[in-house]
Structure 1
Amino acid sequence: MTPDFMTLAADRIRIVLVGTQHPGNIGSAARAMKTMGLHRLVLVAPEKRPNAESEALAAGADDVLASAAFHDDLASALAGCQRVLGCTARSRRVALPELTPREAAASMAGTVPQGDVALVFGRERTGLTNEELHLCHQAVHIPANPGYSSLNLAAAVQVLAYEVRMALLDRLDAAGPTEPRDPPASHEQLEGFYAQLGETLDAIDFHKGRSPDSAMRKLRRIFNRTGLDERELRLLRGVLADAQRMARLAGTGGGK
């Protein structure tokens, strides 16, 4: 692995800010990113677009601001990602596997050779919604002082960006030959699989009249932990397709 790995990683790591309320925080986040060698800033439905205050607080990271991508919703901002980590201070709302910043950074550094990864930050006051967290594979929690855990958005970006840079440098130093593997399943591929899984569970009457939400959350956690690659996902979707076919035959009284 060569120093080009750092360039590749910078091109594949997205810092996604959702519903940012203060343009100044966007500029400060851009500054935090650039100091750690990151440049892919993605803004999802900010309340105000970057302005003069953003540029002032970017303090020289104007290029990061200028190249920021804008999206109306989080799902479109995550298109093409192999792994998505949501930064949250309140893990009780959605039961996702929870990582420390260091663990999250190591996970990201291990994924970038295969494809894009995203680190998602929510609104200053309310964070990410349950629906947005459901689009993440893992949660990241910064273990701040429990007596005063108020952490500015840009400061949170700085903490995670630092850990990511250290993980990338560690991987660069320790890298040896690696065996080729199939590309990890993308975010869209996984969401397609989860949709088919939900349809299959309905087709076989798995829920028996119970709400499907709890079961689907648990199944998502199981599969998100495994780091499925594209070939494995194709196999699973083939199994689901056969299960759906058999359910249709059983429903019509058909034979083999």
Structure 2
Amino acid sequence: MHTRFILLNTSHAGNVGAVARAMKVMGFEDLVLVKPRWPDVLTRIEALERASGADDVLRQARIVQDWEEAVDGIEHLCATAMTPRDFGPPTVEPRAHFADLVRQQQGSAEQPPLRSLGLVFGSERYGMFNEEVYRCHACISIPTNPDYGSLNLASAAQVLAYEWRQALGGFQVAEAPSVTSARRADAGQIEGMLAHWQQMLTGIGYLDPAAPKKLMPRLQQLFHRAGLHEEEIHILRGIARKMQQCLKDRNP
């Protein structure tokens, strides 16, 4: 579904850049600004710095002078306001409302499919005026701490961009490449390493050969559970060699 982020009367260039970044990381690119404080806001250094690589979103963003041009082509508008109104569109929680919009995207016998969504954000100082909220189909309120619900413009944009992307199916988390070259240590390698450790633990006085108790069997079980690789055996043998060298240096 086509998605547009609409910023009304934005006063801080840095927030515009941060919104562009929030959009790009969630795969959105249509940004429209209505009467921002700075006519050159899209190229101001604060915007470019906060965009942090989302310069392409800023380059294709549009500045318009009225509401009608900003919302042209958008079928469903969501206002963003923390304070519920006693009149106007229903106040909704984003996750549930976005899930409903995805269902509408499929269409039904009664309604054609929903094809576009606009997320509307007010100015940093005043938010959205009632008249602007009334023009929207729904008023989204992000659930926050009831004692402190103040969200920065860019933070609110990031939350809604994430929730909307998740509703649309989300992105897959990139998995770390598997280490195919690593080989598990065999029983003989582990036994050799343990014998080396036993020698060094005795040398530093940690293991008493006269009363060893179950120290070595416990270490053996620990290393078995760890599923050691050959490279890790080399590391443990290296530790034992360093212990051996230290003992020689102390007792020449």
TM-score norm. by structure 1 comes to 0.59
Contact 1:124 1:153 in 2 (8 A): yes
Contact 1:82 1:111 in 2 (8 A): no
1:167 aligns with 2:167: yes
Change (3 A) 1:109 1:99: same
Partner of 1:58: 51
Amino acid across the alignment from 2:94? P
Contact 1:16 1:43 in 2 (8 A): yes
Which of 13, 16, 21 is the equivalent residue of 1:31? Answer: 21
Partner of 2:153: 153
Contact 2:11 2:123 in 1 (8 A): yes
Contact 2:7 2:33 in 1 (8 A): yes
Partner of 2:78: 85
Partner of 1:97: 90
Query: How many residues end up aligned between the 2 structures?
Result: 160
Contact 2:4 2:117 in 1 (8 A): yes
Root-mean-square deviation (Å): 1.6
1:111, 1:17 → 2: CA distance? 25
Contact 2:101 2:114 in 1 (8 A): no
Change (3 A) 1:59 1:93: farther
Greater C-alpha radius of gyration? 2
Between Structure 1 and Structure 2, the one with more helix by share is 1
Shift of 1:108: 3.9
Structure 1: give runs of 5+ residues left out of the alignment: 1-8, 171-256
Structure 2: give runs of 5+ residues left out of the alignment: 106-112, 171-252
2:104, 2:138 → 1: CA distance? 13
Q: Residues 14-65 of structure 1, C-alpha deviation per residue, up to 9 Å, x if partnerless?
A: 0111111100000000001111111111111111122111000000000001
Contact 1:108 1:164 in 2 (8 A): no
1:95, 1:39 → 2: CA distance? 29
1:73 aligns with 2:63: no
Shift of 1:104: 3.0
Q: Residues 134-160 of structure 1, C-alpha deviation per residue, up to 9 Å, x if partnerless?
A: 110110001111211111000000000
TM-score norm. by structure 2 comes to 0.60
